Amino acid sequence: MRSRWIIFIAALIKMSRQGSFTRPNVVFIIADDLGWDDVSFHGSNQILTPNIDMLAYTGVPLERYYSHCICTPSRSALLTSKFAHVLGMQGYPLTNAEDRAIPLTEKLLPEYFKDLGYATHLVGKWHVGHSRSRYLPTFRGFDTHFGHRAGYIDYYEYLLLETWSKGQVSGLDLYRNVTPAWDVSGYVTELYTNEAVNIIRNHHISRPLFLMLSHNAPHAANEGAMLQAPPEQVRAQRHVESPQRRIYSAMVKMLDDSVGEIIKELQLKHILDNTIIVFVSDNGGITTGETANFASNYPLRGLKFSPFDGGIRVNGLIWSKNLTDSRYTWKGFIHVVDWLPTLLTAVGASVPKDIDGINLWESITSNNESNRNVSYEINDFDGYAAIIFNDYKLITGKVPDSYSTHEGKELKGIIGKAPPYKEALRKSATYKIFQSKGIQINISDVRKNTIRVDCNTNNYEELCHPKQDVLCLFNIKEDPCETENLSSRYPDIVETMHGLLMAEIKRSVKRKKTIFRDPKARPSLHNYTWTSWLDSVDKKTVQSK
């Protein structure tokens, strides 16, 4: 009997040495529509994000992290490691009565982790298909899901409102797995944080953890009440001059607090040292226009929905205890499609072949050059296409002018003095935990690690606006604010890039130019919830699950 135990324990020790029990945990945090200038490690003292900044200062902030410019496309690319246009997921995001999803032939990021023995959890937003149950997170690799399935929800009521041709329709979009979560109450950023904290607390450490925390914040909520935060939190931001941005600032503060809570719980659980943390925004902020949240991408040009850098060059960082000894900002080119192979490599797994993503783990962790030199923003729904190739970006087609200018400067106003940054850092949960663990940081010195974008503002008068058959070429390294059209100066570069872009467009799955809304999805037909309304026509497949 005893010898059997000894053999069993020896086998366990062997397995753990081989790594099957010690793969690092991964916590992937996504902010929704957070702007470039809305984290303080990018230089601003207006909105302070001390917890996120502590991860950036002691981990590796990503100076040239690119995503797609809209939620559904960027999340599709994250989950599949393929550009959105090769999935038919490019362009305008999924609306709630639209029967579309990431094709079921795709293997998603959580499925890879599940195959490796990870416990996989999604807290928060999905937005890559929900018309049928088999499109939902718990059918596509996540053990559990608590959150919203579509674009955003009201921060207190969890309703999503859409305007249809015959008027407004609204329904609940908060689910615990496949059940509407009527029983919960509270501010959604805190709800999601508590859920993530409970998952960490109750996690059995015999298995590694893959946790995706995909916040509603700081996306705008429904028309009529777009910006929402607890009143005392808004009051605490009263140095922010713009009344709307003051609320936005409180929304971001709650998001930053959430990061601190997650770090705290990982430390309490004694798994922080073995956890890789990623923090990213899904796309740029949307200062004005549809679903405006008063975010700012300043000084970058353009907003969410546009292929200018304000739409696609976003916040990103990676943290792990192993990375806290050498402090640097990684300046290499990385795209949202790269996370899948990069994270699989980070946990010692092999990388699938038929993907667009490139493994950048060694490049990032050894502060080496990037192996990526190209990315695309192909959107046949709106009718534009863009390519980044090495230092250049070429844009052609119809980009809405209103999403393509420099916005956000007018929102920078501060009443009186900016809040003391160093004090905020010192008071943050993350700083205190790092101090207790001996992860040193010299707070007097942190500003030298700020990522700053410097621009020549002389040409702002005559910006190149692409149109059908009118190309704009920019050197985004030397001119990160995309002010100078270089197409006539470098016809060879234009020709090369145009050729690459046209070849890539051939790979794309075309999208219809109109959005079909299925009247059967109407929430009033489903007890005022947004459901997987096509399950009845889809029964056979669901039953086989």
Q: Smallest gap, in angstroms, from Cβ of residue 231 to ligand NAG?
A: 26
Count of residues of this chain found to bind ligand NAG when the rule CB under 6 A is applied: 27
Kindly identify the residues of this chain, within the stretch 331-370, that bind ligand NAG according to CB under 6 A: 362, 366, 368-369
Stretch that binds ligand NAG, among 184-192, 259-267, 326-334, 483-491 (CB under 6 A): 483-491
Q: Smallest gap, in angstroms, from Cβ of residue 273 to ligand NAG?
A: 7
Ramachandran region, residue 19 (left: φ > 0; alpha: ψ -120 to 50; beta: rest): left
Asked whether position 444 contacts ligand NAG by CB under 6 A, the answer is yes
* Contact residue for ligand NAG among 45, 144, 345, 371 (CB under 6 A): 371
Stretch that binds ligand NAG, among 238-246, 299-307, 400-408, 459-467 (CB under 6 A): 459-467
Contact indicator for 65, 72 with CB cutoff of 8 Å? no
Task: Kindly write out the interface string for residues 255-274 of this chain, putting x where it contacts ligand NAG by CB under 6 A and - elsewhere.
Answer: -------------------x
Cis peptide before 208 (omega within 30 of 0): no
**The token pair that represents 54 in the structure block:** 């502590």
> CB-wise, 468 or 544, nearer to ligand NAG?
468
* Contact residue for ligand NAG among 349, 418, 470, 515 (CB under 6 A): 470
* Contact residue for ligand NAG among 232, 325, 354, 445 (CB under 6 A): 445
69, 71, 464, 472: the active-site residue: 71
Q: Smallest gap, in angstroms, from Cβ of residue 463 to ligand NAG?
A: 8
Instruction: Specify the 3-state DSSP secondary structure of 61.
Output: strand
Task: Provide the b/e sequence for 390-424 (b: ≥16 CB within 10 Å).
Answer: eebbbbbbebeeebbbbbbeebbeeeeeebebeeb
* Contact residue for ligand NAG among 8, 182, 328, 516 (CB under 6 A): 182
List Cα–Cα distances, 438 to 58, 123, 325, 431, 434, in angstroms: 12, 31, 11, 10, 6
Q: Is 127 known to be catalytic?
A: yes
* C-alpha triplet 229, 59, 30: angle, nearest 5°: 35
Burial class (CB in 10 A: 0-12, 13-18, 19+), 179: exposed
Asked whether position 373 contacts ligand NAG by CB under 6 A, the answer is yes
Kindly identify the residues of this chain, within the stretch 20-49, that bind ligand NAG according to CB under 6 A: 24
List Cα–Cα distances, 19 to 8, 9, 22, 349, 511, in angstroms: 17, 15, 5, 10, 44
Residue 420 is classified by DSSP as: P
Contact indicator for 284, 42 with CB cutoff of 8 Å? no
**The token pair that represents 74 in the structure block:** 């960027």
Instruction: Specify the 3-state DSSP secondary structure of 3.
Output: helix
Asked whether position 472 contacts ligand NAG by CB under 6 A, the answer is yes
Task: Provide the b/e sequence for 11-29 (b: ≥16 CB within 10 Å).
Answer: eeeeeeeeeeeebbbbbbb
Stretch that binds ligand NAG, among 51-59, 244-252, 299-307, 484-492 (CB under 6 A): 484-492
> CB-wise, 35 or 180, nearer to ligand NAG?
180
> CB-wise, 22 or 456, nearer to ligand NAG?
22
User: What is the binding site for ligand NAG (CB under 6 A)?
Assistant: 24, 180, 182, 274-276, 320, 322, 362, 366, 368-369, 371, 373, 442, 444-445, 464-466, 470, 472, 485, 487-488, 527-528
User: Which residues are the active-site residues?
Assistant: 71, 127
